[in-house]
Amino acid sequence: MNKNPIFCAIDTVDITAARVLLARLAGRIGGVKLGLEFFAANGAAGVRQVMAGNDLPLFLDLKLHDIPHTVAGAVRALLPLSPAYITVHAAGGLAMMQAAAQAAGGHCKLLAVTMLTSLIEQDLPGLGILPGLSDQVARLGALARRAEIDGLVCSAHELSTLRRTLGPAMTLAVPGIRAPGAAADDQRRVLSAAQAFAAGADLLVIGRPITTAADPAAAATAILASLRTA
């Protein structure tokens, strides 16, 4: 393991609290994930404030999903924030993902969200999606590769299949990480960090197991240690 794959999901809209948390986690995480809730509250200016003086890679998890022209414009508008990763929804389709990739122009990596980790098999009929869930993830993953997207956001449960079918070049980012026996909260397709890493994850997006711990730094350190034996 040459680099720390843990991207801490900053679960707060409070800029000061976010900066304090990142200071506590210095040297223990490999990157920072800021998502839709934070961006809705604070915008690009808030992202700059949190990342000021911080050289960690930025994962902007905004899950862009709109017509191709709009998504391309959004990607271009985000590039001045110097993100390492931006997420789009694979369900936006081939043309949308191609437009996003063209707009990114190699300045950041685009990750396509396959199926949210809050969804399970029984949710598919209500969404008009044919079963099974793993088949849908595979379809969306193949579509993202065709669009020349850099990687995918997926559940740990789909990692092995995606790695086998898409090869080593695609970056696979996994949210929904929970310790064995811990509460899953609103996540429903979860594994531990060590299990996900062993199955082929490149990035582990971890929020509450770190951010709500009594000692976030110790929690991050323990998770990183578990990966070295995975």
Q: Catalytic residue numbers? A: 63
Beta carbons within 8 Å of 203's beta carbon, 6+ residues apart? 5, 7, 31, 59, 85, 171, 172, 173, 174
Contact assessment for residue 208 and residue 198, using Cβ atoms and an 8 Å cutoff: no
Which is it for the CA torsion 135, 140, 141, 146, positive or negative? positive
